[in-house]
Amino acid sequence: MSVSPLAPASGFPDLPVIKGVRFAAASAGVKYQDRDDVMLAVADAGSTVAGVFTRSSTRSAPVLDCQEKLLGDLSGAPVAILVNSGNSNAFTGGAGRASVNAIVAETAKAVGTLESRVFTASTGVIGERLPHDRIVNQIAKLNESLTENAAEAAAKAIMTTDTFAKGSYATFDQGGTTVNIAGFAKGSGMIAPDMATMLVYIFTDATVDAQVLQSILSGINETTFNAITVDSDTSTSDSLMLVATGAAGATPITDTNSPAAIEFVEALRTVMLELAHLVVKDGEGATKFVAVNVAGADTDVSAKKIALSIANSPLVKTAIAGEDPNWGRVVMAVGKSGAPADRDLLSIWFGDILVAENGWVADSYSETAGADYMKSPELAITVDIGLGVGTATVWTCDLTHQYITINADYRS
């Protein structure tokens, strides 16, 4: 498969080393051959960890296991994260749980930590038994090859239909100490709020209390990973984890409102937003990256409902694929959202071009200008509902022939 036209020209970024975290990747042959398909990340003792997961009622065995563990052990033992691609271990009944247990036990033993500090994820086809022995057989070797510099290899090992590896980082000064945040993600189909077949792992050498870390992660998630959609489908396996090693030796963050916390949140938001955008830019078949901004809704909740209705509309998304400035379909999507709206108060912009106002096409609008604008690979659609002060932004991509091609024969 060719690389998404929306992939960054600069390739995978040169991630900074996060002190206290090491990575390794290997080929276990779960489904893919001739490539790495399993990764291990280990963070030193004393690290804190937070996570956000899919809200699907049919979530996978690894997700259930992670959720239980995050509620429990705060022992400070080393944190291990083991992820495979090619098989999602979802809807695999009792066997799914047994696979998780086998992988967790072997990882804890090899790494030298508690099973309660081992987190796993699996991504790929649903409903097929995970051949976990193939993974278990690689764990000792993975542990021996851990290195601070293998984040890119880890990012590549967890890819499924992704066409490029996705990384992002931020470095900032906290009272004279340099703090780093680095993360990677895989997308790319089933991307929709709460959340997607999306796996995201972010590491920092900041020192952050575990509960504060969770609170920060959940808060930023709402306007980053929970504000992107590729096809409105929600995976059974979405996982976003954040690990803080404290190895930079900066001021401990024990309160979400402290100056140190605010600096950290700002840097983390940058990383999470960039990763979220990269996931959309690798949306299956995507050729356009689209920001949908809604203002003037009665509430923020309504604004997000309208923005998602636009961003998920197959008719809007196919029009974007066809570079057709079909604002009528935007009107349709506003109307079907279920949120309060008045046709005659709507205004719509494509980029900076005012397309419609007061319930009709703007006098100043020219179809030529609209059509020219739609040729850009990055687009913004802005709708003012004209009712109140509710706002939201979501990001999506277009719906193309390639999406159909990828998904009509994914398993073959």
Which is the catalytic residue, given 197, 207, 236, 382?
A: 197
- Among 32-40, 51-59, 102-110, 207-215, which window interacts with its own copies (CB under 8 A)? 51-59
Asked if 260 contacts 174 with a C-beta cutoff of 8 angstroms, the reply is yes
Of 5, 175, 259, 314, the one binding its own copies by CB under 8 A = 314
As a whole number of angstroms, the distance between CA 196 and CA 223 comes to: 15
- Among 57-65, 140-148, 170-178, 254-262, which window interacts with its own copies (CB under 8 A)? 57-65
Q: What distance, in Å, lies between the first and last C-alpha atoms of the chain? A: 15
As a whole number of angstroms, the distance between CA 279 and CA 273 comes to: 10
* Residue closer to its own copies (CB basis): 1 or 262: 1
* Residue closer to its own copies (CB basis): 4 or 234: 234
CB of 218 to its own copies, least distance (A): 19
Asked if 105 contacts 120 with a C-beta cutoff of 8 angstroms, the reply is no
Site for its own copies in 318-357 (CB under 8 A): 318-319, 321-322, 324, 326-329, 331-337, 339-344, 346, 356
As a whole number of angstroms, the distance between CA 77 and CA 245 comes to: 11
Which among 364, 369, 337, 363 is positioned nearest to 350, based on CA atoms? Answer: 369
189: contact with its own copies by CB under 8 A: yes
Q: Annotate 362-406 with DSSP letters as a single string.
A: -TT--HHHHHHHHTSSEEEEEEE-SSSSEEEEEEEE---HHHHHH
Annotation marks residue 393 as catalytic: no
How many residues in the shown chain lie near its own copies by CB under 8 A?
70
313: contact with its own copies by CB under 8 A: yes
Query: How many Cβ atoms sit within 10 Å of the Cβ of residue 221?
Result: 20
Of 6, 111, 126, 278, the one binding its own copies by CB under 8 A = 126
Task: List the catalytic residues.
Answer: 197
Instruction: Name the residues that contact its own copies, by CB under 8 A.
Output: 54, 56-59, 88, 90-95, 125-128, 189-190, 192, 194, 231-236, 312-315, 318-319, 321-322, 324, 326-329, 331-337, 339-344, 346, 356, 358-361, 399-401, 403-405, 407-412
